Amino acid sequence: MAPSAQMEKMMARQNYRNVWHVDLIGATGADTLYCCFAMWCAPCASYLLRKRALYNDLTRYTCCAGYMPCSGRCGESNCPELCLCTEVFCCFANSVASTRFLLQDEFNLQTTQCDNCIIGFMFCLQQLACIFSLIACLTGNEEISDAADCLNCMANSVYCTVCACMQTQHKIEMDKRDGKFGPQPAMAAPPVQQMSRTDQPAYGYPPPQPAFGYGNPLPPQAPGYPPPGYPHSSQPH
């Protein structure tokens, strides 16, 4: 994807009106078992989530979901399973982010300010740990080196925790997409707290602007979503 197209996508995500079914803070409580699985088997969770995001059809797989310059140039069409395994083990952070972008663009999901703060804190802590490590390497100061080790430990712990919560968030959103929260009346009105007005953010479905997978045609590279026979909810998101 060209840099200009990436920037357009990033700007578009700021205007999405729908929100995730659970935020990062509530992800652990919403599905504790899966959060533990995503913590201790993070690459496996990333593999399964990307496959599920593609409706279990890996013939449509593209490296990093098409959001990186390497996308489409890694021989994905010949062996998508191997390429996806390589992605989740060698580029784990990119694999999680790509699945997130894929779901956001499909369902018009914005990232809340609270989630942005958590993700931003994770990045800042990693950068701070890197800076302290460089200073300790250049100066040879033992105190700075100890501080760098402490910051690296904290940064790694926060990184693993946030990624686990993020993957749980993705899983819950796809549970909602696939109707795993139980059948609901097809014509039922949304609860009052989910109905949106022009003076407040919209928290309910359907989205106020066209989005792939809501009765609108999918992009040329992914026609026919979801595939025939794939389980889906009886009520549009």
128 Cβ contact list (under 8 Å, min separation 6): 151, 155
pLDDT of residue 154: 95
CA distance 31 to 29: 6
* Contact residues for 221 (Cβ-Cβ < 8 A; gap 6+): 60, 62, 66
Read off the DSSP letter of residue 214: T
Question: Does 206 sit behind a cis peptide bond, omega within 30 degrees of 0 on the bond before it?
Answer: yes
Helix axes 42-53, 142-177, angle to 10 degrees: 30
Q: What is the pTM of this model?
A: 0.73
Please give the distance of CA 45 from its chain centroid, rounded to a whole number. 12
DSSP structure string for 11-24 = HHHTT--EE-SS-H
Q: Which class for 79: exposed (0-12), middle (13-18), buried (19 or more C-beta within 10 A)? A: middle
Name the CA radius of gyration of the chain, rounded: 20
User: pLDDT tens, position by position, for the chain (237 residues)?
Assistant: 556 666 676 667 777 888 899 999 999 999 999 999 999 999 999 999 999 999 999 989 998 888 877 777 777 878 899 999 999 999 999 999 999 999 998 899 988 889 999 999 999 999 999 999 999 999 888 899 999 999 999 999 999 999 999 999 999 999 999 888 755 444 444 444 444 344 444 444 444 444 444 444 444 444 455 666 565 544 444
CA-nearest of 227, 185, 172 to 33 is 172
Question: What is the pLDDT, as a whole number, of residue 112?
Answer: 85
